[in-house]
Amino acid sequence: MRPCPSGLQWNVNICEWPNNVKNVNGSEPTKWPVVHGPFPTYTIAEPTTINTALSLQNNKFSSRPKPTIALNFGSSETYKVVCYFTNWAWYRPGHGKYVPEDIDASLCTHVIYAFAVLDNSSLTIKTHDTWADIDNKFYKRVVEYKKKGLRVSVAIGGWNDSLDSKYARLVLDPQARARFITSVLRFLEKYGFDGLDLDWEYPVCWQVDCAKGDPAEKHGFSALVRELSHAFKPNGLLLSAAVSPSKMVIDIGYQVHELTQYFDWIAIMSYDFHGHWDNKTGHVAPLFYVEGDTNPSFNGNFSIHYWLDRGTPPEKLIMGMPMYGQSYTLADQKHKSLNDKSLGPGKAGTYTRSGGFLAYYEICEMVGNSEWSVIRDDEGRIGPYAYSGNQWISYDDVADIRRKAKLISSLRLGGGMIWALDLDDFSGRCGCGKHPLLRALNQELRGIPGEEVKNCT
């Protein structure tokens, strides 16, 4: 989604859905850089071994007591596994093409369809890509998974749709909020979705620029969420959100305690902490702080505890995990460690076609080549990074997904979320079975049967 939504293509100087682009030779940009400091210094758990990392017994940041049992929160599953389906992956060539029938119903408890958008004039929900969603029946084909026991919601927003003032105008106008809610109820009923996932990025801090918005949007967003909840509950509809992992955005944009009363769950987008926009190498989704990172809050452990300490019930908090990596072009091939200088994004992948961004299935094929060297952190604080020549990639592998699942279990969180289904090795090209990352998450959290997934990278 950064600098414009994953799966979109450059059309001159803006991002467009592929079917709207006359010249489709552009790239498919990736997700966003999380806001970059400055941040105050906190005392954060810094594990010396994997066991101490996961027990969190020495975490001095959070003094709030943790529940001693996992809680059931309205489904047959103790833990949620929330999977985002993106309607643009079917535009990818060859083995990268992903369609609704590629979803493995056994590996998700919830599927979220990305994205619907907000109409700029009426401030009501509308379909964005009618060719995929309606003409090719993607809405219908994804909603069919409800028959297999999944809950299926639709997400509104995303990076590109959060560019201008329209969401601010929505939340600051009570009449606009009422019209929006009416349109959402009709939309969900018409297409059969179970609920709505809010992905405005972000209140006050539009596209992570906290100087753009009005501070009143923080309260307006809470009002919208409260009013949506009151309309949804009598109809048995789900209300969730994808939220920022950034301390600055959380402080400026969210009334956390208010919001958590009304959401069924909140998924932290705990990835893209680092990318080519930093002009130096870094890991896409650190679990813990690593010495040398100038931002001590840029890791999943910090973000989770910050949301918890602001009042989020643990059973409502979902940890996001990337099924992709961030790639870089090194400034000097001799300097290939963390925090070494880079010149910009790495080479685009064959299928995702986005500089600086590679799907896991592209990564596992690449690093299987003897020309690549893979480096792992002995303490498990971050996932691997790999390099070959002037190309450098950071990503999570099966072992890291398992570590994050253990963190979810130790804190009795609500579960895990993945971005996105089409980026895992969904066809099993790398030799470790289909959906190895997602399957590892399910084995750890839900105890699904089958041989333990091995690392392909």
Indicate which residues carry an active-site annotation.
Answer: 201
Cα gap 408→318, rounded to integer Å = 8
Cα gap 42→201, rounded to integer Å = 25
Provide the CA 200 distance to its chain's centre, in angstroms. Answer: 13
3-state secondary structure of 79: coil
According to the 3-state scheme, what is the secondary structure of 255-283? CHHHHHCCCCEEEECCCCCCCHHHCECCC
3-state secondary structure of 374: strand
State the Cα angle at 409 between 405 and 412, rounded to 5°. Answer: 135
User: Got the DSSP string for 420-450?
Assistant: -GGGS-TT-TTSS-SSHHHHHHHHHHH---S
Residue 135 is classified by DSSP as I
Structure-block tokens of residue 59: 């975490």
For the chain, how big is the Rg over CA atoms in Å? 20
Residue 248 is classified by DSSP as H
Paired sense of beta strands 357-359 and 324-330, if any: antiparallel
Q: What is the helix (H) or strand (E) element at residue 210, kind and residue range?
A: none
Q: Where are the alpha helices (DSSP H) in 269-359?
A: 300-309
Cα gap 274→282, rounded to integer Å = 5
Under a CB-based contact definition with an 8 Å cutoff, are residues 391 and 411 in contact? no
Cα gap 291→296, rounded to integer Å = 9
Between the alpha carbon of residue 453 and those of residues 52, 435, 450, the distances in Å are: 24, 10, 8
Under a CB-based contact definition with an 8 Å cutoff, are residues 401 and 407 in contact? no
Under a CB-based contact definition with an 8 Å cutoff, are residues 391 and 330 in contact? yes
Q: Other C-beta atoms within 10 Å of 253: how many? A: 25
What are φ and ψ of residue 228, in 5° steps? Answer: -65, -45
